[in-house]
Each structure stands twice: as structure tokens, then as C-alpha cells.
Amino acid sequence: MAIEALYVHIPFCHAKCAYCDFDSRALDGSALDAAAVRYLDGLFRRIDALGDAGALQNVRTAYLGGGTPTVLGPRLPELVRHIRAWCAPEELTCEANPESFAEALAAGLAASGVTRISLGVQSFQDEELCAIGRLHDARSARAAVERAREHGFDVSCDLMCGLPRQTEESWEETLHEAIDAAPGHISVYPLAIEAGTPLARRIERGEECAPDEDFQAECMVRARDLLEAFGYARYEVASYAKPGKACQHNIAYWTGTSYLGVGRSAAGMLTAREFCGLSALFGDTLAGGGAARVRFVQRDDAACSFDFEFLSEREAIAEDLMLAMRTTVGAPPELIERAQRVLGAARVQAGIRAATTSGLARLDAATGALAPTEDGWLLGNELFGIMWDLC
């Protein structure tokens, strides 16, 4: 099997952030300990089943996300060792929050084989962190980045713009703080207000203002200018990296690489042939007639129930074009040629014209790739819609 990426979901946090609608449970103390033991037992069984089926032998990247994986404490390196018993990923990323990324845990993760730490910093302004319910402050965020670097990890920092109380000046300070901390990778996201979250309810009551989209766009442009000036190259819509520090797991998602998701709410994507080869692990569900690609999401802790989406060959190639529009390299000529064979040359060329004449994409004269413009990133849904509509 050519499954090259593995995602493992940890659905626990010490506290839910005010903006978060991810699948996670806020637990602490004995309640967290008991839930973690049960959940990890299920993860180990699922990983072993996939390993026995030969599904993990070609995994090149693995990613532990959440939730907050680092709330597992010393159990987290045990999970990493269990994964590495079945595969040898070149890149193994673990998400971490500053308040739970302790010295002993950092050492344990390094010893177990984690190569990369993605820190949920979000802001280096204490007032902004408090407003969104983060448990750390700017000082502990700086210390966490330094701790990760001292233990030899590649380090990524997540930042958010459009936060309550955020200004142009405070955003500029956060960007400079992140650059001064010298991580190899920085991701920048606009705050999204999700229905039912505490922050959404505060906005509904008039206690906070909704994020201003124009301000967020200005923040994204300022981040681009400043990060690129300091040697960070943008490689996808939200992520910047120093040379050699781009996240290979991220790239797998945007380039049609098969990946497995393990854990409640974890998503995966396989070719229909790969999926049929593992059908016994998904309740003997078989891909529908003519499916080329299968997307699935685990619905429970025990990997007994899944949601499936079966994509035709036309839908799969349109999806590849759409996902390519998240990256700086865009859709290479070989992808465009394959799309023309599947979807029809006239249809694909019409889509390319629509994207280029609207200023959302451009044809790279040197490579022949169709790549997004800055407007294409800021108006991503319009560009993605043009690509998806080709199917």
C-alpha cells in the first residue's frame, strides 16, 4: 500500500478555548487519567490492527493532534513508541500547548522519536490570550519555544489574527515576537467564529465584536510581508517556513497523498483499492461502484463506526485541483494534463481561464503550473469553487 501519512487524534484538553469547536473534552486530574487510559487502549488496538494489515509500513509522516496531546503527559511518549514500532516516519509532529509542554515531557518526546513540535501560541499578548481562554501567557509561550529548540525539535508556532482586543500594533508585536523566537515554521490563521462556542455567545450578547474581515486580510498581508522579509517562505495559504522546514505532513494533505486517521473524529483518505484492501477494519464497508477515492471519519472512540464519502474519478481529480490551490506551487502541468484526460480539455481550459481572468490564479511561465495569486488566497472559496465545479 502507498499510504504515506498517519494522523492520530487526542480529544483531551485541560480547558476548552473560547473559539474552539474541535472534538475535544476538557478534563483534568483523575477524570483525565481514567479517560486517557481507556482511549489510549483503543488507539493501541487500532494501530496494531492497521500495522498487522500492512497499512503502516510506508508511512513517511505522522502527526499527533487534538485537542492537546501534551495533556497526556508521560503517556504521550508511550504512544509515539507504539507508532514507531510499526513504521519509521521521517517527520513525526506532536501538537503542544505551552502550559503542558513541561521539561520532562519534552525530553521524553525527543527520546521516543518525535521530530517536530507544533506549539499553539496564537498570540504573544497576554490580554488577547486571556480573551480567547488560553491557559498560557506570553512568557510561557516564549519559554516553550526555547525548550523545544533546546531538545532538538523542529519547531512550528501557530498564530491567530482578528482576536478580541487585537490591534495593528499588537499584531505587529506578536509577529516580531514569533520571529525573534526563531521557530523554523510559522502558521497564521484568521480567527473563525463557530456557532455554539463561548466566544460566539459573547459576540451575540454584544460583549465582544466579531472579527473584522478587512482587518484580518490586512493582518494576513502584513504577516506575509514581514515573514518573507525574515526568510520565511510561504508554501501554502496559511504556512511559512525557513528552508527545509516546511511541514511534509501538511504537504501530503494538499497533494492527494493517501493518509490514515486514527482516533475519534480523525479523518482519512485512501484510494478505493487501498480502502477495499482494508475493508475488514472498517466494518466490511465496500466502496460504491465507480469510486476512485474514499474519505472517512471515525465517529467513536473504539473505531467501530465511520462516516464515508465515496468520490468518483472526476470528483477526485477536481478535488486535487482544488487542494493544489492552497499551495504556492499550485497545480503542476502533469496534474492539469491528467485533469484534461478525465474531465475534458475544453472544460479544464475554461476553468483555468475563469481563474486567471478573475485574477485568482496565474499560469507560471517557467513551470507551466496554475498557481493561486494573493487574491486567490484571500478569496479562497471562490477559487476552490471554480476548481470543484469542473467535476
Report the C-alpha dihedral over residues 272, 253, 377, 179, rounded to 10 degrees.
Answer: 180
Domain match, 233 and 376 both? no
Looking at the domain assignment, is residue 72 inside a domain? yes
Q: Which amino acid is at 388?
A: W
Domain match, 200 and 220 both? yes
Domain match, 261 and 293 both? yes
- Whole-angstrom Cα distance, residue 162 to residue 219? 8
Looking at the domain assignment, is residue 321 inside a domain? no
Domain match, 236 and 302 both? no
Q: Which domain holds residue 101?
A: 5-245
Tally of domains in the chain: 3
Looking at the domain assignment, is residue 94 inside a domain? yes
Domain match, 355 and 234 both? no
CATH number of the domain encompassing residue 205: 3.80.30.20
Domain match, 278 and 349 both? no
Domain match, 118 and 90 both? yes
Domain match, 256 and 349 both? no
Looking at the domain assignment, is residue 320 inside a domain? no
Angle between helices 138-150 and 168-181 (to 10 degrees): 20
Domain match, 92 and 34 both? yes
Beta strands in 277-339 (DSSP E): 291-298, 306-312
Domain match, 241 and 178 both? yes
Task: Return the DSSP state at 232.
Answer: P
Contact (CB, 8 A) for 72 and 108:
no
Q: How much is the pLDDT for 27? A: 86
Q: Which amino acid is at 13?
A: C
Report the DSSP beta bridge partners of residue 301: none
Whether the model pTM is above 0.85: yes
Domain match, 355 and 261 both? no
Domain match, 122 and 181 both? yes
Tens of each residue's pLDDT in the chain, 391 residues = 689 999 999 999 999 898 988 888 888 889 999 999 999 999 999 999 999 999 999 999 999 999 999 999 999 999 999 999 999 999 999 999 999 999 999 999 999 999 999 999 999 999 999 999 999 999 999 999 999 999 999 999 999 999 999 999 999 999 999 999 999 999 999 999 999 999 989 999 999 889 999 999 999 999 999 999 999 999 999 999 999 999 999 999 999 999 999 999 999 999 999 999 998 898 856 556 679 999 999 999 989 899 999 999 999 999 999 999 999 999 999 999 999 999 999 999 999 999 999 999 999 999 999 999 999 988 899 999 999 999 9
The grid coordinates listed for 37 are 487510559
Looking at the domain assignment, is residue 137 inside a domain? yes
